[in-house]
């Protein structure tokens, strides 16, 4: 709870902070009451909140780049799908197997790759995503190739499972809240400071005794864990996985959410995930020009809030000081 309070009591918080949170809360409440198609949109946004929060630990806090986190979402999603749908496992242990698998893969890949810097690291992570995609396509006996796996049971324990859309929405809200809280906890801890130090200056971090290579690997594994959980949540929420679900599109979407929300901020991933999920829907009236309007809106956001929506309170504070 400590970290939740500290999100609210941010020293730079002002009415814009509360307005953002108020809007988000009002939107969630509205969707709960109104129901319908928006429930699916919001469920999707909450799953992405978990994924992007993890990506933010690696990219925002630790200052690295990964184009391959869809790989870990795929490992989590496929483990859950295969074990639960094909072998009749319980959702929780199936998801945990995916989590363990993702951590192992993240370790094996991260250990050598994280010694690379800049473009090399980015290229290597891109390769991970492509490899896992190919495995999902080719390993037909397990993954059913392009067809994907359907008939994944909903989330639940034993005889209890969450069948209703609203119940699932509540569950995903809880999951997204836990993701944000844990990220806030990490950011404020010794671990998070080591991450941010490595991002700020590797040399200075090492000179203070921080084993930068080790902390990059830890950040990579933590972010892979979030991605894996997001993948499992997706499988149980939608009931279907396929290679396309965890394709490059997922990376593009996660990046957009991260940058629009605010790279390196705690709340940015949630704001970005919700806005990017809702924005295309709200331009539906533009019909043929929907994509154009969506693209224009993104550009406007990134021009006027280059550090993301989470930086709006800061921008407002600066503007106030300048005009005061």
Partner 1 sequence: MSLLRLDGITRRFGGLVAVDNVSLEIPAQHLSAIIGPNGAGKTTLFNMIAGFARPSAGRVHFDGDEITGLAPEAIARRGLIRTFQLVQLFEGLTVLENVKVGCHLHTRGGLLAALLPTRAARAEEALVESEARQLLAETNLEAQAETLAAALPYGQKRLLEITRALAARPRLLLLDEPAAGLNRQETDLLAALLRRIVDSGTAILLIEHDMSLVMNVADEIAVLDFGRLIARGKPDEVRRNSDVIAAYLGSAEVADA
* Chain residues that interact with partner 1, rule: CB under 8 A: 2-3, 11, 182, 185-186, 188-194, 196-197, 199-201, 203-212, 218, 222, 264
Give the nearer residue to partner 1 in terms of CB position, either 196 or 293. Answer: 196
Q: C-beta of 56: minimal distance to partner 1 in Å?
A: 14
Q: C-beta of 99: minimal distance to partner 1 in Å?
A: 14
Q: How does strand 149-150 pair with strand 240-241?
A: antiparallel
Give the nearer residue to partner 1 in terms of CB position, either 149 or 212. Answer: 212
**How would DSSP label each residue in 143-156?**
H-GGG-EE-PPPSE
Helix H or strand E segment including 263 = none
Taking CA 102 as the corner, what is the angle to CA 98 and CA 107, rounded to the nearest 5 degrees?
150
Q: C-beta of 65: minimal distance to partner 1 in Å?
A: 17
Q: C-beta of 316: minimal distance to partner 1 in Å?
A: 17
Please enumerate in sequence order all residues whose Cβ is within 8 A of that of 302, keeping only pairs 6 or more positions apart, or say none.
259, 260
Q: How far is CA 54 from CA 143, 166, 172, 199, in A?
A: 25, 25, 16, 16
Give the nearer residue to partner 1 in terms of CB position, either 211 or 291. Answer: 211
Q: C-beta of 70: minimal distance to partner 1 in Å?
A: 24
Q: C-beta of 200: minimal distance to partner 1 in Å?
A: 3
Please enumerate in sequence order all residues whose Cβ is within 8 A of that of 206, keeping only pairs 6 or more positions apart, or say none.
212
Give the nearer residue to partner 1 in terms of CB position, either 264 or 308. Answer: 264
Give the nearer residue to partner 1 in terms of CB position, either 147 or 204. Answer: 204
SS3 58: helix
Give the nearer residue to partner 1 in terms of CB position, either 93 or 200. Answer: 200
Q: How far apart are CA 93 and CA 95, in angstroms?
A: 5
Q: How does strand 160-161 pair with strand 240-241?
A: unpaired
């Amino acid at each position: 709870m400590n970290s939740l309070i500290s999100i609210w009591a941010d020293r730079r918080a002002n009415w814009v902070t509360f307005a953002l949170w108020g809007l988000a809360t009002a939107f969630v409440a509205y969707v709960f009451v109104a129901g319908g198609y928006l429930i699916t949109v919001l469920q999707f946004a909450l799953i992405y909140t978990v994924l992007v929060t993890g990506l933010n630990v690696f990219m925002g806090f630790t200052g690295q780049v990964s184009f391959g986190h869809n790989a870990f979402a795929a490992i989590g999603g496929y483990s859950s799908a295969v074990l639960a749908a094909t072998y009749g496992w319980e959702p929780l242990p199936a998801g945990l197997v995916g989590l363990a698998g993702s951590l192992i893969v993240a370790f094996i890949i991260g250990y050598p790759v994280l010694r690379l810097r800049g473009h090399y690291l980015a290229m290597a992570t891109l390769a991970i995503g492509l490899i896992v995609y190919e495995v999902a396509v080719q390993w037909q006996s397990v993954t059913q190739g392009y067809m994907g796996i359907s008939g994944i049971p909903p989330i639940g324990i034993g005889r209890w499972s969450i069948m209703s859309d609203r119940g699932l929405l509540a569950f995903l809200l809880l999951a997204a809240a836990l993701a944000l809280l844990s990220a806030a906890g990490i950011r404020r801890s010794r671990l998070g400071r080591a991450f941010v130090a490595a991002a700020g200056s590797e040399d200075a971090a090492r000179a203070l005794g921080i084993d930068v290579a080790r902390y990059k690997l830890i950040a990579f594994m933590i972010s892979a864990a979030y991605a894996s959980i997001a993948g499992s949540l997706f499988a149980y929420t939608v009931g279907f996985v396929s290679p396309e679900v965890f394709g490059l599109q997922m990376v593009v979407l996660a990046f957009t959410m991260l940058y629009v929300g605010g790279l390196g901020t705690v709340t940015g991933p949630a704001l970005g995930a919700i806005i990017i999920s809702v924005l295309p829907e709200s331009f539906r009236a533009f019909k043929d020009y929907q994509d154009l309007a969506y693209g224009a809106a993104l550009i406007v956001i990134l021009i006027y809030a280059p550090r993301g929506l989470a930086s709006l309170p800061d921008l407002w504070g600066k503007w106030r000081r300048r005009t005061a």
